[in-house]
Amino acid sequence: MEESNFIKTIMEKDLASGKVKEIVTRFPPEPNAYLHIGHARAMITDFELAECFNGKTNLRFDDTNPAKEDSEFVDAILKDIEWLGYHPANIFFGSDYFDQTYELAIKLIKKGLAYVCDLNQEEIAKYRGDLSHPGIDSPYRNRSVEENLKLFNEMREGKYADGEKVLRAKIDMAHPNINMRDPVLYRILHMHHHRQGDKWCIYPMYDFAHPIQDAIEGITHSCCSLEYDNHRILYDWVVEKCEMPHVPHQYEFGRLNITNTIMSKRYLRELVNSGKVTGYDDPRMPTLVGLKRRGFTASSIKDFVKSTGLSRVNSTIDGEMLDHFLREDIKLKVNRIMAVKDPLEVVIDNYEEGKIEYVVAENNAENPELGERKVAFGRHLYIEKEDFVLEKPNKHYKRLALGLEVRLYHAYFIKANSVDYDKDGNIVCVHCTYDVNTKSGSGFNERKPNGTIQFVEATTARSAIFNLFEPLVLDDEDETKSFLDRINPNSWTRMKGYVENCKEHFDELERFQFIRDGYYAVDKESKDSELVFNRIAPLKSSIK
């Protein structure tokens, strides 16, 4: 990570002062959904900052809540991390520390710093007070150590139902930070755990488990997003009162948000479960699997996230910036080929029926290293509907119209002479003539055509579906409207057309630039008999 950021500065100081010998970070995803691009900021911070100082980064699955966690998500997260090119020094599971966490809870009870409380969730919330009112002590706060040990053991043994009892830290019910008003450390959940099976029916809360895990692993800098800011005081309390031999520190950075994008796992789950999208890898989703399927490269995502910097303020970045980094990444690496999304038939009346010739085209005009290919030309062609009008509307119009001549990319000049209509009066075919002397590369420059347009030869063309995307969620003045009611009905448009027959087999995720249109990637549902392309990003930004 080249750009300096405030956590990097802290790490430099800690190494220089000898406070730490080595930088050790961790990336702690909860395996309850797929990762989204916001997680990439956390990943980049954790992995690249450690790497910057030759330190190391653990991947730790924060699987202390069995309610939503699943091994499907563990596998998906492992793949995402590999795709972004990161290599954890160790892979740990928070649940592997359950025995130690339980022992530390007992230690706190013995020190008189934790107690079993019979209040239910609502009562706990009511007793807690608020920013302007101190809380009230729980009637169970002064249970003896012996009674607490006995009850906590019974909680573990399954004597009580979910919610019947909790273990709470005994701190200060009048503390100005509400997180310090006797927070819950353990709750009862009779639920199967994806790794621990039915060994446990009590589970530690994040605020208790996380600092312990960081301390056990020797994490020096525990980085997380800003919403944990007012939990840091509790984090430090846990480390101190549990007398952990290693003392980790928590640092918070701002969350990354993107315009018209929902970036919370809960909402992403809702989108999938409600069927509003086709799955976590729907190409409109901000998940890493969705962005990957759409065609974004791992480096474009990392470049984008790094360009947003790292500070202690949440940021909302225009989604078009991601398109920019995609274009920058692949514009010199991909072949620029011709595709027609909304085809209009063209017949070259003075070209022999049945004859096909091949013209030579450079694969990427800005990168000769990508070589050349052959493009078919013949009597029957397709052009984009929007590249033809009957009459030139104004002097800025640089496409085909009756009586006008345009250049076909890599091929000849053609002139439009007449059109055929169907019974409803729609234009179905444009009759043209071509000038054999104007072949591309022949040096012909006697006339200036009215623009250059693309085409594909109709008899050799490959049929294709083009998926075009817009943001999934629309802005709405009405803030009370749920995001499920703000889904953009035009977020996925499918068009049927043709691409030039530039290769036999198109591999999944192979990327192309379609001339004058945008960058596309081959979708996982593509077949050679009917290709499917996802538009990753248009050629130009719409930001003027």
Closest CA to 272 of 290, 257, 295, 256: 290
Beta carbon of residue 49, minimum distance to ligand ATP (angstroms, whole number): 13
Binding test (CB under 6 A) with ligand ATP, winner from 8, 20, 24, 39: 39
- Our finding on whether 439 is near ligand ATP (CB under 6 A) is no
Lookup result for tokens 């701002």: 254
Give the whole-angstrom CA distance, residue 3 versus residue 467: 36
Residues 197-256 that bind ligand ATP (CB under 6 A): 224-225, 255-256
- Our finding on whether 1 is near ligand ATP (CB under 6 A) is no
103 is known as an active-site residue:
no
Give the whole-angstrom CA distance, residue 438 versus residue 524: 40
Binding test (CB under 6 A) with ligand ATP, winner from 153, 264, 367, 433: 264
- Our finding on whether 38 is near ligand ATP (CB under 6 A) is yes
Give the whole-angstrom CA distance, residue 282 versus residue 292: 10
494 is known as an active-site residue:
no
| CB-nearer residue toward ligand ATP: 179 or 264 | 264
Closest CA to 25 of 38, 9, 44: 44
| CB-nearer residue toward ligand ATP: 261 or 526 | 261
- Our finding on whether 266 is near ligand ATP (CB under 6 A) is yes
Which amino acid is located at 129 in the chain?
G
Q: Which stretch binds ligand ATP (CB under 6 A): 34-42, 368-376, 401-409, 454-462?
A: 34-42
Please check whether residue 283 is in contact with residue 537, taking contact to mean a CB–CB distance below 8 angstroms: no
Give the whole-angstrom CA distance, residue 523 versus residue 531: 8
| CB-nearer residue toward ligand ATP: 224 or 499 | 224
Lookup result for tokens 């499907």: 72
Beta carbon of residue 28, minimum distance to ligand ATP (angstroms, whole number): 6
Give the whole-angstrom CA distance, residue 439 versus residue 181: 81
Element (H, E) at 40: helix 37-52
Beta carbon of residue 268, minimum distance to ligand ATP (angstroms, whole number): 8
| CB-nearer residue toward ligand ATP: 11 or 256 | 256
Beta carbon of residue 173, minimum distance to ligand ATP (angstroms, whole number): 28
Give the whole-angstrom CA distance, residue 169 versus residue 212: 14
- Our finding on whether 42 is near ligand ATP (CB under 6 A) is yes
470 is known as an active-site residue:
no
Beta carbon of residue 314, minimum distance to ligand ATP (angstroms, whole number): 8
Q: Which stretch binds ligand ATP (CB under 6 A): 28-36, 49-57, 402-410, 474-482?
A: 28-36
Please report, for residues 13, 84, 211, 226, 436, the alpha-carbon distance to residue 248 in angstroms, rounded to integers and kept in the order given: 15, 27, 7, 17, 76
Q: Strand 518-522 to strand 531-538: parallel, antiparallel, or no bridges (unpaired)?
A: antiparallel
Candidates 255, 292, 439, 462; catalytic one: 255
Closest CA to 501 of 464, 534, 532: 464
Q: Which stretch binds ligand ATP (CB under 6 A): 27-35, 80-88, 389-397, 483-491?
A: 27-35
Give the SS3 label for residue 407.
Answer: strand
What is the set of active-site residues? 30, 255, 265
Q: Which residues bind ligand ATP (CB under 6 A)?
A: 28-30, 38-39, 41-42, 224-225, 255-256, 263-266
